[in-house]
């Protein structure tokens, strides 16, 4: 039996559907490990690295299944050079069933294949409608060592790891596609996989991917735990990383040599990084030259501009001020200062000619009606049409800038300020927006491409929020203070509490009932909202799927 193993952890990004590109990247990273001394035995890649994760219903296409099998075969052939073996995640078809699995490619062939047993079916996951469940996996013999291969959810529950231990596994390698959520990095390490180590007494290598895929972002945060529960390696968050781990076998079993223990970001830096990665990969994967957004002089659009600059570089960010007769000089000055601080382009396109045109066009139909929210929404929709025109003409993707507090209660104009291709703030409550803005003014993110120093004028952060669609308008005219609103929404949305339970937290019952009603009736708007990065446990979209037509009200 071998007494030493060299295992390379390739914490990588991936592109869903780009099978040749993903395969090429894996071979490039494998080539880097060949230079290691002593030579690497095995290179480990994240879950479904070959096809991209999650590929959703794309995996159901027979042509896609055939392409995945073909690329996996090419990767297997590459190992005939005598270099390191590869542990590659992909999809597999057997007896007419589709599986999520991994293959150890070694010596020019697939030396072993294992299928995922535990299929997650909650929150962002719906694998049970796509994949068949594999049988409880047996350990794999590799270089004389017995390795257990729990795939993502297999490691989050005790059953598979316990079975592998009973069947003689000596160490566990768990490949994952575990999306970012607030506080999830430490939860994985200290509460989930540390428990698997405690239950089995086996050392465990946890590998996760990085990067963005539509509404999901993956933070990496891979690690190695020895059998005593102590961390031997902690890879950085948010960046691709190759980590060579050295394993030795003794009487007590396999043990990983101590290495670097990276410090993972804390709040609110991690939230800001998630926004950066989500936007960057969405824009670049879909080949947009940059982004365009309306810069109003308010905090939401200012933060979106800062995120975009950190994601793409200021030169790829185009801000547009769209003043009406209700736009204050303060907002004009704040927007100009913000664009200058960020270093991005700013244009000004007044909307009054269009507003006057709509007033004239609708004057006959509206003759017997008072001015109301309709005229406010027309202004917002004119802005949306203008920004979409710029997007169409020049190719930049339009960013929307509404936060989760507003989207929860429908404080947004459909086909107006909701128009666009992506929303970095979709899962960020208003108080989170304030916290992240204050943090960014004091810190430049490690993965950011924007300037050092403050990027949002202090006046934007401190002045009362306003949509400026009528004289002297304030958000507080229509909504409770955001501190109160956000706490009510945390109860109703994130914690699925009823009105009684939220009221007991110290809120006025009538206010809670009103917010619950607004939450439910705004569902149709949210269904038509653009995607945006998931931050918490209940984002609107993949996590929270409520009916549009809904008569229920909680007690």
Q: d(Cα 423, Cα 402) in Å, to the nearest integer?
A: 7
Backbone angles phi, psi at 500, to 5 degrees: -60, -45
Backbone angles phi, psi at 321, to 5 degrees: -90, 130
| Element containing residue 521 per DSSP (H, E) | helix 509-521
Which of 71, 116, 256, 430 is flagged as catalytic?
Answer: 116
Strand partners, 246: 6
| Element containing residue 94 per DSSP (H, E) | strand 85-94
What is the number of other CB atoms lying within 10 angstroms of the CB of residue 242? 17
Which of 47, 118, 376, 516 is flagged as catalytic?
Answer: 47
Q: Which residues contact 242 (CB under 8 A, 6 or more apart)?
A: 8, 9, 10, 11, 29, 32, 33
Strand partners, 231: 225
Which of 71, 118, 152, 468 is flagged as catalytic?
Answer: 152
Q: Which residue reads 């997650």 in tokens?
A: 120
- The one-character DSSP state at 315 is G
215 is catalytic: no
152 is catalytic: yes
Q: For 107-219, where are the E strands, in sequence order?
A: 109-115, 140-142, 145-148, 171-175, 204-207, 210-213, 216-219
Q: How far apart are the first and last CA of the chain?
A: 65
What is the number of other CB atoms lying within 10 angstroms of the CB of residue 68? 22
Q: d(Cα 149, Cα 116) in Å, to the nearest integer?
A: 9
116 is catalytic: yes
Positions annotated as catalytic residues are 47, 116, 152
């Amino acid at each position: 039996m071998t007494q030493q193993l060299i295992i390379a952890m390739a914490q990588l990004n991936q592109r869903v559907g780009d099978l040749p590109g993903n395969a090429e990247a894996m071979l490039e990273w494998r080539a880097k490990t060949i230079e290691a001394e002593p030579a690497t035995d095995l290179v480990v890649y994240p879950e479904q690295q070959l096809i991209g994760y999650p590929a959703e219903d794309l995996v159901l296409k027979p042509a896609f299944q055939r392409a995945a099998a073909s690329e996996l075969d090419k990767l297997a052939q590459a190992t005939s050079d005598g270099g390191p073996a590869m542990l590659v995640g992909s999809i597999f078809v057997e007896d007419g069933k589709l599986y999520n699995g991994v293959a150890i490619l070694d010596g020019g062939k697939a030396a072993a294949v294992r299928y995922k047993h535990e299929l997650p079916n909650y929150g962002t996951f719906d694998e049970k409608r796509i994949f068949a469940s594999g049988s409880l996996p047996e350990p794999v013999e590799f270089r004389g060592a017995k390795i257990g291969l729990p795939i993502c959810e297999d490691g989050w529950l005790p059953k598979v790891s316990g079975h592998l231990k009973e069947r003689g596994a000596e160490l566990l390698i768990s490949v994952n596609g575990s999306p970012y959520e607030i506080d999830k990095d430490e939860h994985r390490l200290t509460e989930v996989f540390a428990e698997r180590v405690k239950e089995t007494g086996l050392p465990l290598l946890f590998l996760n991917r990085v990067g963005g895929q539509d509404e999901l972002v993956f933070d990496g945060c891979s690690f190695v735990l020895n059998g005593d529960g102590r961390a031997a390696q902690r890879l950085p968050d948010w960046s691709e990383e190759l980590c060579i781990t050295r394993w030795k076998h003794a009487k007590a079993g396999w043990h990983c040599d101590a290495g670097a223990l990276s410090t993972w970001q804390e709040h609110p830096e991690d939230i800001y990084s998630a926004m950066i990665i989500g936007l960057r990969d969405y824009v670049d994967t879909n080949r947009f030259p940059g982004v365009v957004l309306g810069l109003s002089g308010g905090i939401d659009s200012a933060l979106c501009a800062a995120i975009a600059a950190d994601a793409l570089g200021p030169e790829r960010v185009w801000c547009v001020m769209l003043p009406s007769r209700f736009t204050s000089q303060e907002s004009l000055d704040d927007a100009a200062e913000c664009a200058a601080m960020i270093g991005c382009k700013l244009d000004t396109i007044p909307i009054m000619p269009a507003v006057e045109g709509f007033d004239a066009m609708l004057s006959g139909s509206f003759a017997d009606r008072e001015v109301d929210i309709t005229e406010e929404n027309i202004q917002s929709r004119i802005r949306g049409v203008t920004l979409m025109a710029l997007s169409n003409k020049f190719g930049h993707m339009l960013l929307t800038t509404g936060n989760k507090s507003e989207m929860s209660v429908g404080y947004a104009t459909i086909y107006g300020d909701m128009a666009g291709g992506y929303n970095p703030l979709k899962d960020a409550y208003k108080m989170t927006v304030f916290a992240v803005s204050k943090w960014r003014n004091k810190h430049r993110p490690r993965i950011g491409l924007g300037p050092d120093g403050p990027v949002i004028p202090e006046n934007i952060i401190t002045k009362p929020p306003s949509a400026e669609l009528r004289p002297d308008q304030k958000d507080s005219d229509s909504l409770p203070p955001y501190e109160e609103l956000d706490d009510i929404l945390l109860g109703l949305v994130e914690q699925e509490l009823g009105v009684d339970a939220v009221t007991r937290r110290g809120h006025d019952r009538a206010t809670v009932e009103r917010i619950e009603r607004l939450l439910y009736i705004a569902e149709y708007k949210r269904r038509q909202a653009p995607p945006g990065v998931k931050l918490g446990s209940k984002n609107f979209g993949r996590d929270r799927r409520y009916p549009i037509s809904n008569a229920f009200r909680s007690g």
